[in-house]
Amino acid sequence: LELSIDLDFMAIPIVASDADLIARIVARDEGALASLYDRYGTLVFSVALHIVQDVAQAEEVTQDTFVKVWAQGAAWNGSRGKVTTWLITISRYTAIDRLRSEKRKASGDAVALDDILAVLGEEGPMDDPVWADVQILKDSLRDLPADQRQVLELAYFRDMSHTEMSDHLNVPLGTVKSRVRAGLNKLRGLWLERGVTDD
Partner 1 sequence: MTDLNHIPFQNDDPDADDVLERALGKSGHALPQDAVARREIAQTVAGLAALGADVPQVKPSDALRAKVLGAAVKRSTPSVVPRNNAADSNRFIRVLGLAASVAAVILLASNVYFMNRLSELEGKQDAMMASMAHDADMMVAMIAEGQKTPLADDSGQERATVVWMAGAAQGMMITQDLPMLSPDLTYQLWLIGPDGVPVSAGTFSVDTDGTAHLMFDAGILVEGFNAFGISVEPMGGSEQPTTTPLAIGQRT
Q: Is 14 in the site for partner 1 (CB under 8 A)?
A: yes
| Residues 56-75 contacting partner 1, CB under 8 A | 58-59, 62-63, 66-67, 69-71
Which residues, at least 6 apart from 125, have a Cβ–Cβ distance to it below 8 Å? 131, 191, 196, 198
- Measured distance CA(26)–CA(46) in Å, rounded: 25
| Residues 127-166 contacting partner 1, CB under 8 A | 131, 134, 137-138, 140-141, 143, 149, 152-153, 155-157, 159, 161-162
Q: Is 19 in the site for partner 1 (CB under 8 A)?
A: no
Q: Is 94 in the site for partner 1 (CB under 8 A)?
A: no
State the alpha helices, DSSP H only, in the chain: 18-26, 30-52, 55-72, 83-102, 113-122, 134-139, 146-158, 162-169, 173-193
Which of residues 28, 53, 74, 172 is near partner 1 by CB under 8 A? Answer: 28
- Measured distance CA(29)–CA(26) in Å, rounded: 7
Q: Is 191 in the site for partner 1 (CB under 8 A)?
A: yes
Between residues 5 and 170, which has the closer beta carbon with respect to partner 1?
5
Q: Is 103 in the site for partner 1 (CB under 8 A)?
A: no
